[in-house]
A and B are shown apart, each in its own frame.
With several copies, the nearest count.
Chain A
Amino acid sequence: HEEQLIFERGRDAACGVDLPAPDSVATRLGGMERNGSVGLPGLSEPEVVRHFVRLSQKNYAIDAGFYPLGSCTMKHNPRLNEKMARLPGFSDVHPLQPTSTVPGALELMSELARWLMELTGMPAVAMSPKAGAHGELCGLMAIRAALEARGEAGTRTRVLVPESAHGTNPATAAACGFTVDAIPATEDGRVDLAAFEAKLGDDVAGIMLTNPNTCGLFERDIRKIADAVHEHGGYFYCDGANFNAIVGRVKPGDLGVDAMHINLHKTFSTPHGGGGPGAGPVVLSEALAPFAPLPYVTSTGGELKLVEDEQSSDADPFGRMVAFHGQMGMFVRALSYMMSHGSDGLRQVAEDAVLNANYVLASLKDVMTASFEGPCMHEALFDDRFLKGTGVETLDFAKAMIDEGYHPMTVYFPLVVHGAMLIEPTETESKETLDEFIGCMADLARSAKAGDKARFENAPELTPRRRLDETTAARKPVLRWTPPAPAQAAE
């Protein structure tokens, strides 16, 4: 069955809800009544349910299979967290109802903040950013605000970003008015310390560094880098996307970090939901804490207070990043996750995530090409050298995995190696699953080397759709359904 669009299936007279007819009250719309129909299709509830159930069946998901997507931390999403987030006391409260009627909401935010600060060893956290990239923006704004307070915002305009960084890092720095200066990587996949030091200067606002980095490696020199940045008057923004590798074992505060966002939808397992919603609280050092944006929750003598405006603030908030207070629904899920694990469980999370990645690395390094020597953190990075001369590209290899029942790893990222394949198993996969996966990858690698190009070029073949024409999609974008022209409709 091909699944039509709802617009192709609906009928004017059908409706999937029953609403009472309005009484004939005189309207007060001031003459602004809508002209004509909206154009929405009418469908009964059974049709809507079936449509979306069928659509869902065209998706891959972590609940249904292994999802070793590097840098995305596709771990198990506990259903307890979903249940907790749906408690009416959390889901059915309004951000602007009197704070006297929501003490439990403030308590939840405050308690989550406590966990985040304790786990990162940082003294403050800005809760409102709605996603990782939003958290980066928050961190850089705090840095810029701190520079402004020092009277150096006009002169310190350069931000150092390693070549291997996520695209959000340079994009965020630019959005915050900084210029971006790339730092090269060394042969062993880490920041080139000499190159980095050479770039330091009075115009440097700070550095944005991911740790563990996007090559799946811990930046050995991170303390030195932090100290050097600080010595030169800059700040250290740490991209926390890979916090899952060290949670419960290493406190970023001990590494000299000034700001770090935490993807609740990665490390703390709030579901990815096909692309969101996420949540990106940002922990801040003493130096940056005063500039944290509005709103925030404070505690005085055990009493929690929501500070929503500058007038009520004792600090120097740099402004506001969102309406309301952040991703409450995600906060509940994350706290439920944290409480379930406890500090012992979270440390085990990091250890098992790292163990799983190293197990994959060790088991596949002879059949694929590991990009760097030594143990990795929670991601194993391979490149396409093992495919040399086979005619099989990284993309083909990834697509062939789909026919084997796996979601592909992250490909072509990080940019510092050729044809990158970044595998992040996460801690919620069993050894059995990894063994099956390793077996499959080894088989594919052998197959490629043996010249079975067809297995790769034609892949995937067992999916609801095969490879799609992305070029035409971008060249002549069709971004919405439009009714067929009358002539066609009459056919």
Chain B
Amino acid sequence: MRYLPLTPDDRQQMLGVIGAKSMDDLFVDVPEAARPANGKFDEAFDLPPHQGELEVDRALSAMAAKNTSAGSVPFFVGAGAYKHHVPASVDHLIQRSEFLTSYTPYQPEISQGTLQYLFEFQTQVALLTGMDVANASMYDGSTACSEAVQMAHRVTRRNKAVLSGNLHPHYRAVIETTSKFAGDAVEALEANVSGKEDIASQIDGDTSCVVVQYPDFFGLIGDLADIAAAAHAQGALLIVAIPEIVSMGALRTPGDMGADIVVAEGQSIGNALNYGGPYVGLFATRQKYVRQMPGRLCGETEDVDGKRGYVLTLSTREQHIRREKATSNICTNSGLCCLAFTIHLALLGEKGFTRLAALNHESACKLAGALEAVSGVELLTPAFFNEFTIRTPKPAAEVIEALADKGVLGGVPASRLMPGNDAVSDLIIVAATEVNTDQDRAAYAAALTEVLS
């Protein structure tokens, strides 16, 4: 087997040193019930034997070829994950052995590479969100959001979260699941494509936090200052979830508007769609809450020679020290994905990032114009970044399938994420990014016209 260096000779010699007669001697503690009859391991597993690279490559390539990749068609699917162009150098750099095959930087003397990029990452996330500090990433946007709710509970010593109805239904579900088992309360409003909801009236003295999405699930953007004020008036925190971090190149930051915790899905920068994972959750907050943050943190310090260096810090928050009293059970970050994020954003810089945002908005504006012009289609989102919602005269799920048959992946039917909610059955959430061309947009409008006619 190509990955196993020991030869039969090696094994015999080593058994001799150990003083064992056979491999079985080393597994002597395994109970009888868990040993295969007559030691016939092969029969115990209904699995094929080892295969060469060529054979594995063929089998997996055949599987992959059955999927329609985003780059091969006019593509407008968003709702929490976005198709962007990632520069080739990003993937090259994250595959460097020293990044790819290293462990968590617990030995800082030989991990300054990882630690320094984490420090750069934290700074970038703080800048993008308009917050003081950020952690070294979470699994993804949805789990970051749920962790934010838990953190708000710790900070406020309350345990009720109020969720905007236009929070991504998956994010809501993750919060509800976590809260259910932790014994916390969740009040979630109804979805409303107009964005009109009275959150303020839901906030009371038991409320630890209000969670809103920006741009919201339907793509709508609006000022959060009033919600922040309403939350703060009751001693609650405002948590803002950003599904599309590229929007921060064009929009006012949640930090600007009074958010206490900002979480985001960072996939758009540096990371592929990957059918949903791995992604990278961004998590930022105000300085004063730093010791209640979940997840890894990298901090600056000096070595014994007085040279600047970086270490993982504030680990007394974490499970490997605090065990059941930790701020979270989390033990991994999304290391390589945040490296990809950091590199891509370093390449973009101020000029590139703001321009990328402008191009995304432009692409969406052009698409909105094209789809609005299709007979029967209604644009429901007056202000948006790179995603908006349309109403179609036919059920959205059917429209999307019909478009797919025509080779256009036209967005997400709201009903897929809000099953059973009749009010959204004719809504499609449509995303556009810098990768879409005029031809893509024209193809969408033409296909939609056909489907609806």
Direct contact of A and B (CB under 8 A): yes
Whole-angstrom distance between the Cβ of B108 and the nearest chain A Cβ? 5
Do residues B323 and A171 form an inter-chain contact, with CB atoms below 8 A? yes
| Given A25-B366, A32-B221: A89 in contact with B349 (beta carbons within 8 A) | no
Closest 5 CB pairs of A and B: A30-B383, A89-B64, A324-B276, A319-B177, A273-B336
Q: How far is the CB of B359 from chain A (nearest CB, A)?
A: 5
B246 vs chain A, min Cβ distance (A): 12
Ordered by A's residue number, 30 sampled pairs between the chains whose C-beta atoms are within 8 Å are A2-B308, A15-B351, A16-B352, A30-B384, A31-B383, A59-B110, A78-B88, A82-B100, A83-B57, A92-B272, A93-B67, A95-B273, A131-B139, A132-B332, A168-B331, A272-B101, A272-B103, A275-B333, A320-B173, A339-B59, A345-B1, A345-B4, A361-B18, A399-B109, A428-B5, A466-B304, A472-B302, A473-B299, A479-B300, A479-B313
Nearest CB of A to B373, in Å: 15
- Min CB gap B215→A, angstroms: 9
Residues on A with beta carbons closer than 8 Å to the beta carbon of B59: 339
> How many chain B residues touch the partner (CB < 8 A)?
218
Contact across chains for B298 and A479 when beta carbons are under 8 A apart = yes
For window 130-189 of A, CB contacts with B under 8 Å fall at 130-134, 136-137, 140-141, 144, 166-168, 170-177, 180
State whether the Cβ of A44 lies closer than 8 Å to any Cβ in chain B.
Answer: yes
Contacts A319-B177, A477-B297; is A88 near B71 (CB within 8 Å)? yes
Interface residues in B229-260 (C-beta closer than 8 Å to A):
248-253, 256
- Bound-state CA distance A338–B49 (Å) is 10
**Contacting residues, chain B, for A37 (C-beta < 8 A):** 350, 354
**A78, B88: Cα distance in complex, Å:** 8
* Contact in complex: B14, A88 (CB < 8 Å): no
Closest approach, in angstroms, between the C-beta of B381 and any C-beta of chain A? 8
Q: Mark A330-359, 1 if CB is under 8 A from B, else 0.
A: 101001101111111111110110111011
Nearest chain A residue, comparing its CB with the CB of B49: A342
Which of B38-46, B201-209, B443-451 lies at the interface? B38-46
Contact partner of B104 (CB less than 8 A), chosen from A35, A86, A275, is: A275
Interface positions, chain A 1-16, Cβ under 8 Å from B, are: 2-3, 5-7, 10-16
B47, A115: Cβ atoms closer than 8 Å: yes
A324 touches B81 (CB 8 A): yes
Assess A130 versus B69: contact at CB under 8 Å? Given A328-B274, A330-B277, A402-B110: no
Give every chain A residue within 8 A of B362 (Cβ-Cβ). Answer: 22-23, 25
Interface size on A, residues (CB 8 A): 213
**Contact segment of A192-200, A246-254, A385-393, A448-456:** A246-254
- Tell me if B2 and A16 are in contact (CB < 8 A): yes
Q: Are B53 and A93 within 8 A (Cβ)?
A: no
Q: How far is the CB of B413 from chain A (nearest CB, A)?
A: 9
Contact call B332/A94, Cβ cutoff below 8 A: no
Q: Do the beta carbons of A103 and B67 come within 8 Å of each other?
A: yes
With CB as the reference atom, state the residue of chain B lying closest to A30: B383
Residues of B within 8 A of A276 (CB): 104, 137, 139, 278, 332-337
> In the complex, are the beta carbons of B355 and A19 less than 8 A apart?
yes
A480 x B41 contact (CB < 8 A)? no
Q: Contact mask B66-91 → A, CB, 8 Å, 1/0? A: 11111110010111110100011101
Residues of B within 8 A of A362 (CB): 17-19
Query: Which residues of A from 306 to 338 have beta carbons under 8 Å from B?
Result: 308-309, 311-312, 318-330, 332, 335-336, 338
Q: Enumerate chain A residues within 8 angstroms of B302, measured Cβ to Cβ.
A: 468-469, 472
A93 touches B278 (CB 8 A): no
Assuming A32-B251, A172-B319, what are 9 further A-B pairs, CB within 8 angstroms?
A: A15-B347, A52-B93, A56-B98, A82-B95, A134-B330, A180-B324, A246-B30, A339-B51, A469-B303
Contact with B along A39-73 (1 / 0, CB 8 A): 11111111111011101111111111001010010
B residues 111-154 touching A (CB-CB < 8 Å) = 111-114, 116-117, 119-120, 122-124, 126-128, 132-134, 136-137, 139-143, 150
Give residues 260-275 of A contacting B (CB, 8 Å): 265, 271-275
Chain B residues with CB under 8 Å of A487's CB are: none
Which residues of chain A have C-beta atoms less than 8 A from B354's C-beta?
34, 37-38
B157 interface contact, C-beta 8 A: no
Q: How far is the CB of B370 from chain A (nearest CB, A)?
A: 12
Supposing A322-B277, A359-B18 touch, asked if A61 and B359 sit within 8 A by C-beta, the answer is no
In B300-324, which residues have CB < 8 Å from any A CB?
Answer: 300-305, 307-311, 313-316, 318-324
Q: Is the CB of A29 within 8 A of B221?
A: yes
Is A40 within 8 A of B5, CB to CB?
no
Report which residue of A33, A57, A79 has the largest number of chain B beta carbons within 10 angstroms of its beta carbon. A79
Residue of A nearest to B141 (CB): A323
- CB B32 to nearest CB in A, in angstroms, measures 9
Residues of chain B with a CB closer than 8 A to A171's CB: 319, 322-324, 326, 328-329
Point out the residue from B6, B348, B417 that lies within 8 Å of A431, measured CB to CB.
Answer: B6
Give, as a whole number of angstroms, the nearest-CB distance from A196 to chain B: 16
Chain A residues whose C-beta falls within 8 Å of the C-beta of B301 in the assembled complex: 468-470, 472-473, 478
The one of A38, A137, A312, A467 in contact with B329, judged by C-beta atoms closer than 8 angstroms, is: A137
Complex CA–CA separation, A2 to B306 (angstroms): 13
A residues less than 8 Å from B352 (CB atoms): 15-17, 19, 42
Query: Given A92-B273, A343-B49 in contact, is the A42-B350 Cβ separation under 8 Å?
Result: yes
Cα separation A83 to B416 with both chains bound (whole Å): 32
A460 within 8 A of B: yes
Cβ of B343 within 8 Å of any chain A Cβ, yes or no, is yes
Complex contact B87–A103 (CB within 8 A)? no
The distance in angstroms between the C-alpha atoms of A433 and B316, with both chains bound, is: 36
Interface of chain A residues 367 through 395 with chain B (CB within 8 A): 375, 377
A residues near B351, Cβ cutoff 8 Å: 12-15, 42
Q: Report A-chain residues with C-beta under 8 Å of the C-beta of B419.
A: 309, 311-312
Q: Say yes or no: is A18 at the interface (Cβ < 8 Å to chain B).
A: yes
A3-B116, A93-B68 known; A80-B57 Cβ under 8 A:
yes
Decide yes or no whether B356 CB sits under 8 A from chain A.
Answer: yes
The listed residue with most A CB atoms (<10 A of its CB), out of B9, B280, B333, is B333
For A41, A312, A326, A473, which residue has the most chain B Cβ atoms within 10 angstroms? A473
Partner of A177, one of B93, B95, B182, B333: B182
Q: How far is A106 from B51 in the complex, measured between Cα atoms in Å?
A: 22
- Given the complex, which residues of A lie within 8 Å of B321, measured CB to CB? 167
Most B-side CB within 10 Å, residue of A10, A59, A251: A59
Chain B residues with Cβ below 8 Å from A251 are 34, 44
Minimal Cβ-Cβ distance residue in A for B82: A94
Chain B contacts of A250 at CB under 8 A? 27, 30, 34-35
User: Would A339 and B307 count as touching, CB distance under 8 A?
Assistant: no
> Does residue A234 face the partner (Cβ distance < 8 Å to B)?
no
Given contacts A38-B128, A329-B277, A96 and B6 within 8 Å (CB-CB):
no
